Amino acid sequence: MQNGRNAQSLRDRQTSEVGSDTISKRGWIPYWSAKRHLTCGNPSPHSAYSSKLFPWRGSAPAKLKTANAALVLCLNIDVDPPDVIKTSPCAVLECWVDPHTLPSHKALEAIGTNLQHQFEGLSLKIPYKPILDPSYEDLRRFCMTLRKQAKDDTVCFYYNGHGVPKPTPSGELWCFNRNYTQYIPVSLMELQSWLGSPGVYIWDCSAAGNLLTNFNNFAERRDQEVFNTRGGYPDGMQPYMHSLQLAACLAHEQLPSCPELPADIFTSCLTSPIDIALRYFIMTHLLPNNITPDMVMQLPGDLKDRRTPLGELNWIFTAITDTIAWTTFPRDLFTRLYRSDLLIASLFRNFLLAERIMKNYHCTPHTYPCLPPTNTHPLWSAWDLAVDTCLRQLPDLLAKAPSAGNTTPNLGPAVARTGRIGQQGSRGGTTGPQGEKPYQYVPSRFFADQLTAFEVWISRGGSALTKRGPLSLPVQNGGPGYEDGLVTSGNASGKGLNTQHSDDLVPRKPPDQLPIVLQVLLSQPHRLRALILLSQFVDLGPWAVNLVLTIGIFPYISKLLQAAGQDLRPVLIFIWARIMAVDPSVQVDLHNTGGFKYFANVLGLTDDQPQHALPNSSEHKAMCAFILATVARDFYLGQMACWRERVFDSCFEKLKEGDFLLRQWSALCIAQIWEGNDEIKVYGVDRGTQDKLIPLLSDASPEVRAAAMYALGTFMGASGSADPTKQGGGGSGTQYQLEERLHFRMEVAVITGATVVAKEDASPMVRKELLVLISCLVKEWRGYFVVCAWIYWEEDRKWRTEMNPQPHEEEVTSQAMAEWLDSFGDDDTARDENRVLLSSFFTIFVALLELTVDPYHEVATNAQTITDYIMALLLASPFYRLDCTTLDSPPIPTNHRGSAAAPHTRGQSLQSSPLTARPPTPVTSRPSLRRADTVTSTFSGVASTLRRTSSFANVLRSFAGGIAFPSVEEGRAPSSPLPGFSTPSRLDTAQSRPPSPNFNLAQYTSPYSRPPTPTKTPLPPSPTEYAPQPDYTPLNVMEALMEEDMVRLRARRRSGAHGRRHAPDLGGLGGDLCSPSGSTFSTDSGSVPLGCGTGNGLRDVLPLKSSFFDWCCEYFKEPQMRQAEADEPGSVQYNYQVWRQQRNEQLIADAQPQTTQAERVQWDKPVTNLQVGGNPLSMAFHSYDPHLVVANDTDTISVWDWSQRKRLNYFCNGNPHGTSITSLHIINQDVGGIIIAGSGSDGIVRLYRNYDPALDQGPLQMVSSFRALDEMISVRRGSGIILDWKQVGGSLLVGGDSRMIGVWDAHTELLLNLETNSESPVTALVSDNASPSTFMAGFADGAIKMFDRRLEEEDAIVRIYQSHPSWVQNVKFHPRYSGQFLSASLAGDVRLWDVRSSERPIHALDLHPGGLSTFDAHPQTAVFATTSALTPANWRHQQLLLHSLADFNVLSSMMLPTGLPVYSPRLPSLYIPRYTSFAFHPLEMMYAVGQPDGTVKLMGCKPS
């Protein structure tokens, strides 16, 4: 368990195909292959972790609880019934009493008393009523009284009919008349009417099968009648068929009369199993020392003391019978019989012994419901061995027993025990010689041996998965999820190598010792070992946790929380974490019993308390935080209890811990504690918790960043509930301790800070959580966002029109802003405060627009939902009815600038508005407002324009489903698209969609998609019905919308000032016109209802709901102690990786001898030709697989198997129309590969996995995508985006049309920006293999700079090399000498440099006077290649030169045909200054040349 985190941390960094052993031998790990990249924070929908498990608490309708019991004895001592002929001798003992040794009435009373005591030994809490030789009237009266007392609970009815005739075939049992002169029949129909339902019936008489069979017949008839006449039983009453029955024999059988056995052998087995089991063992086994039954009856000890021989036997018997039942009976039946009621469990446990003994005497006990036979179960041999071991010590125990009346052997504290029922005195009355040391009883090794067997099962392959069959987990024990084959190998993605071999794998059949391990928990000596083994078992997955819960571990594991032993803490925490992950409903039990305090105390431990030190303290505290977060989740009492136990404070302190898992779960625990709880939110704000969470948004762990964002989301009103119908809302609550404006500023500051930090986060999981947070602010302050949307719309339209419009149209936003600021008069403080507030809203709104075109589909979809909601509010707001607005005008196309919009009518605008549903227009580039671009800077004057490269209109066009004006016909929600698919309205004919991520669960929600409206409720008016010229100004609308938000805040602050907030009743506040969520609208000073219609009829789609917490919980459902399937020797994945590693090493070894020869031979040997679609401008070889990845001049990527000339895959990258892929790499090549593609104008990097269908890893998937360059500059001739990947260390260098070079850490997904100190774009990047911190960058002005990222940003440039006259085409380090590198420019010159000297190059070559197209150096051998540029004078052929770096001789010179029919001066890509491409193979002595006609030539060197 202590190594669990280490194993998980490693597994989180590897793909499903990768084994950690293989990785460790290579010395690196694959990147962008953690679980978050496979799921993006979405719970796995089809994994074993989410399958429905068996309800371990038992089903409520059939659950039984015994309230009382009637013990009916019809013995009529000394009078034999007429239909029974007794042998001589025969069985005479009744309840271990010989009725012939006492007067009949005394004997009957003794038997009744003993029977009551025997039943009380099974369960003391139930009142038992002996009914001795009853008359018909007495029996009826007693039965009806018992039912009245039991109410709806179970009544136990025991019937001993040894003194009356056998039951009749028609279902009648017998009692007496008052004078005992007649036998009176009692029909089971009557008995059922007296006792009602439910009941437990024990029939101890000959021909008992008649009673069981007829009882079922009558019960079925009664139930059918009730269902036919009344439709069913009322609540609380169960059908008669739910009753349980235990019968001593079949209808044609008679009870055994063996004189060595008691007459009531069935009752003896049920109520005193140890006594009858020992007697039976003596009868059937030969023991030394002439052990007699009388000696056995003196076995020392107490049944309740497990340290004594008798108690130990009872303990072993309980464990064995539990295990027999568990391994034999169906799962639901076991839970009902053995885990619902103590008396019922004891009776059915002891019934197994009755079946074993009585079947040897030709008597067949049976039950209802019918149970499979267990009399030949192998575990009975273990019972015989335990009894044998114990009885062999019996003579010594009796001979050397202490003389002081203490018959208990010396096993610890002496425990006095009363004698066995039916025998005078206590067992072991024999006293040993005076002064002789008492015999030391040797305890049985039964439990130790069973624990060893359990340990062997776990350690010797029991945890491995297997195919469905006899050795697999039975369906009855696995629940419905396993029937469908939902159990995978523990891989979060559910997909892996050769999934056809692993999809059908299921857990192995659990070991038979599992119930025995539960019993061992009761023993102090074995407890720790049992808990450790149990923790290893529950670590196997949710199915294992469900098994141990069904067996009945919960009461025991709950009581152990009260144990003071520190040695149990780690294993208890581990087990409870698994239980809470599988069944969160346990939160109520932990709260009611106070068990949560155990984990609160552990979480609160500090490092300065060595006496309470925990192994792997951070990991176990993280588990405690998870458990407490689950206790508080959606449970108000749990929240308050955790708060009172200072859990909130403990988590607050743990936010700065070094362990990422502890930081993550501390934030998540805070999130659940204050979710929807105003009082705790107030406390959190007083402690500055929200300010403590903001720095975590820059944490090195993406999971911690997302957790901090999740905590801020629940603070701002997002729902943390597992219930999908609970949407959330209400902002940060009341915050009654803050002044109103301070409360307002605090909410805005939290979201603004989070937006600025996280909107460019490389992890889409973090960006998703940011949108949840923003949606909370939009819900509460929608008026401000409507104002921002209106300003953006008007300014965007003004920016797109060069012709001067009418003054009142041009100045509308600036004039409104000026009037709004002037309204604050001379109060400079208020003016500045409100300017900053609106600036913050505008910053958030612009970031939201950028996220609507996010490259990751889920992020874009969620952002579109929020933005469409804002736009729907804008179109329904009074802004739309202003005479000076352009909201009803069609937006100007992206490429249209210089012509004003033609005159149009409002009706025409409805037909041509871009807000109606239509296919989206591709966005040529993203909005590029900088972080400093706030409303104060962008609207300071009329001439100010928004710095952007795409229009607001295009963003609007790309909204999912579009925005349409609501009409009478629109009252239904369109069918939601399936994850990963687009609706027809979203398909773009000019731009193809890239592959979807693995779990693409986001669904767009239209603000107009609302439930059907009742016909009596009037529909909201259409915006077109308003008067065209209202008598209010934009300033009035702005003030009204802002005031509405403040009214909403005041109502919120009043509604929940005491504890937990409830839905506020806002009726009558500010009028009866309401917006979504019941918020109110205000009127201006002239009593004009400015908010009239704003938001009316819109669907309340905000805030968004996060699934991040559920995704995090899966960590505690996944195996932590055992290896992943890929690490299991012999598994398909393991064998594949071993083969792959050996293959790779062999390829490397084979290539080494060729490197020396390749420097001296020609490189003109043809290998193959490929015909790809389009112009192949970027290519990348796989080092070990025969794969070539090609990107053409648009957005298409194709993967080829060059050895077979076969195209493996073909997909679109999704970059904007008119742009191309400017950089292409393959990472993680040792274990497969992930394609990284960087597209030209938008600075976006996309990663793809599963591109090789031969591996059967599932469909092609987008792993991740992010904006790698934050601020791209507009240049006349740009390079787009340039990438360089370094596998060792996992760093991605990103440059291009930017003044910054980004160094992305693939593990943390964080960015380090380095200034280039150049106005020219970066054209080439290369990492230094000898130094992990230095790299080279080439620029368009011919400069080459060396960067050291260890230094401060202003000192990061350590060398500048200037010799090239123009664009540096490529830079490569010398393959042999780490201190040298090569560079080439478009002018055709190649330079060899020493990194230590930047004054002049070591060697200079001018190879292509007409210009150079491509340059590359082989990574393994001292060879480089260049191709000539295509010019108007020479475009039909292209010269290819290959040079040796040893002597700079030309190895090969070839003229390659370009295949162009005519020369075009226009380059195929705006960002790639060449027509062709070239790439060396990273390992083999070969290369590829891409030609403009779509031909890719693969050539290599000739062997010497």
Tens digits of residue pLDDT in 698-735: 999 999 999 999 999 999 999 999 888 888 888 899 99
Lowest mean pLDDT among 335-344, 496-505, 704-713: 496-505
Q: Name the helix (H) or strand (E) containing 160.
A: strand 154-160
Q: Quick check: 61 pLDDT over 70?
A: no
Q: Quick check: 1350 pLDDT over 80?
A: yes
CA dist 1007 and 996 (Å) reads 25
Q: What is the pLDDT of residues 403-456, one digit of tens each?
A: 434 443 433 333 333 334 334 334 444 444 455 567 788 888 999 999 999 999
What pLDDT, on a 0 to 100 scale, did the predictor assign at position 38? 87
Mean pLDDT of 834-863: 93
| Torsion sign, CA atoms 93, 98, 100, 104 | negative
Q: Which residue has the higher pLDDT, 1492 or 464?
A: 1492
Average pLDDT, the chain: 80
Would you list the DSSP string of 1200-1265?
A: EETTTTEEEEEEE--PPTT--EEEEEEE-GGGS-EEEEEETTT-EEEEEE---GGG---S-EEEEE
φ, ψ for residue 325, nearest 5 deg: -65, -40
**Residues above pLDDT 70, as percent of the chain:** 79
CA dist 153 and 155 (Å) reads 7
Q: Is the N-terminal amide bond of 1103 cis, ω within 30° of 0?
A: yes
φ, ψ for residue 1207, nearest 5 deg: -85, 125
Q: What is the pLDDT of residues 366-391, one digit of tens each?
A: 999 999 999 999 999 999 999 999 99
Are 1385 and 1368 in contact, with CB atoms under 8 Å apart?
Answer: yes
520 DSSP 8-state letter: H
Tokens linked to 28: 């690196």
Three-state secondary structure readout of 1351-1367: CCHHHCEEEEEECCCCC
Rounded to an integer, what is the distance from CA 764 to the centroid of its chain?
16
What pLDDT, on a 0 to 100 scale, did the predictor assign at position 1083? 35
CA dist 1173 and 1151 (Å) reads 31
Rounded to an integer, what is the distance from CA 813 to the centroid of its chain?
47
Q: What is the pLDDT of residues 921-941, one digit of tens each?
A: 333 333 333 323 333 333 333
What pLDDT, on a 0 to 100 scale, did the predictor assign at position 804? 47
What pLDDT, on a 0 to 100 scale, did the predictor assign at position 900? 33
User: 460 Cβ partners below 8 Å, 6+ apart?
Assistant: none
* C-alpha dist (Å) from residue 1339 to 1240, 1318, 1364: 16, 8, 10
Are 1302 and 1322 in contact, with CB atoms under 8 Å apart?
Answer: no
Q: Quick check: 115 pLDDT over 80?
A: yes
Q: Which residue has the higher pLDDT, 1503 or 940?
A: 1503
Q: Name the helix (H) or strand (E) containing 870.
A: helix 857-875
Is residue 1022 left, alpha or beta, with left meaning phi > 0 and alpha meaning psi from -120 to 50?
Answer: beta
Q: What is the pLDDT of residues 120-147, one digit of tens each?
A: 999 988 999 999 999 999 999 999 999 9
Q: How confident is the model at residue 1254 (pLDDT cuts 50, 70, 90)?
A: confident
**Residues above pLDDT 90, as percent of the chain:** 42
* C-alpha dist (Å) from residue 267 to 117, 261, 754: 13, 12, 72
Would you list the DSSP string of 715-764?
A: HTTB---S-TT--B--TT---TTS-HHHHHHHHHHHHHHHHHHHTT-S-H
Mean pLDDT of 757-772: 93
Give me the count of residues in the chain.
1504
| Torsion sign, CA atoms 1203, 1208, 1210, 1211 | negative
What pLDDT, on a 0 to 100 scale, did the predictor assign at position 217? 94
Q: What is the pLDDT of residues 966-978, one digit of tens each?
A: 332 333 333 333 3
Are 834 and 824 in contact, with CB atoms under 8 Å apart?
Answer: yes
For the entire predicted model, the pTM comes to: 0.84
